[in-house]
Amino acid sequence: MIGIIDYNAGNIKSVEMALDSMNIPYVLGKKPEDLKNADRLIFPGVGDAAYAMSQLKQTGFDSFLKDHAQAKTPIMGICLGSQIIFEHSEEGDTDCLGLVPGKITHFKNIFEREGIPTDGLKIPHMGWNDVHCKEDPVFNNINEGTAFYFVHSYVIEPAHWNAVRAFCEYGIKVPAVIRHESIIACQFHPEKSGEPGLRLLKNFCLPEGDLSC
């Protein structure tokens, strides 16, 4: 059973609608005990990292996610949920869940650090962008270079680039999908990315094989 984590900081309705459109059963959990029977978890999120972490701590989902990551439960993070699984975010100088080694950095600070001209590169990075992917079960039946929908001002910077399963180009190579043990995380919004996004969600929810790599 798929469990969707609702911690008052997620793009919950659009994820529900996406799964409903594919007749994939799920449970929506506002507290950890609601998801005790879930064997796969979707961890969405929009907005501010500090607020999201406060909500996770208030609901107990911070410990819940750490326990399930340790138990190797398949977890999919989406947008903010793909960021606060890391150790630290510049947004609000926030200590995050620490499920994946790495940090979250604002686009502006990366552009300045790398000496990249920002002409024409608006922040937030918003809209459709082609995604270049490595071989991974979550991309089964999705073509290389398929466009997905992004909305973000902060960038995933994993400690190890081999965690990156897909990237897009926006002045830099922007990690679009990372995998670490049983965790797969998408910076873009698969639930808002049309048929390819639904395919990706289905690959996670109804895998033909083990998603661990």
Point out the catalytic residue in the list 68, 125, 180, 189: 189
Measured CA angle at 74 (ends 17, 69), to 5 deg: 120
The alpha carbon of 211 is separated from its chain's Cα centroid by a whole number of angstroms, namely: 15
49-59 and 61-70 helices cross at what angle (nearest 10)?
90
Taking residue 9's Cβ as centre, other Cβ atoms within 10 Å add up to: 23
How far apart, in whole angstroms, are the C-alpha atoms of residue 73 and residue 14? 23
Point out the catalytic residue in the list 152, 168, 191, 205: 191
How far apart, in whole angstroms, are the C-alpha atoms of residue 13 and residue 36? 21
The question of whether 79 is a catalytic residue gets the answer yes
Going by the DSSP 8-state scheme, the letter that residue 34 receives in this structure is G
How far apart, in whole angstroms, are the C-alpha atoms of residue 185 and residue 193? 15
Q: Look at the block and give the residue holding tokens 């910076």.
A: 187
The question of whether 16 is a catalytic residue gets the answer no
Select from 40, 108, 52 the least CA-distant residue to 81: 52
Point out the catalytic residue in the list 68, 79, 168, 186: 79
Q: Are the C-beta atoms of residues 190 and 204 closer than 8 Å to each other?
A: no
Q: Annotated active-site positions, please? A: 79, 189, 191
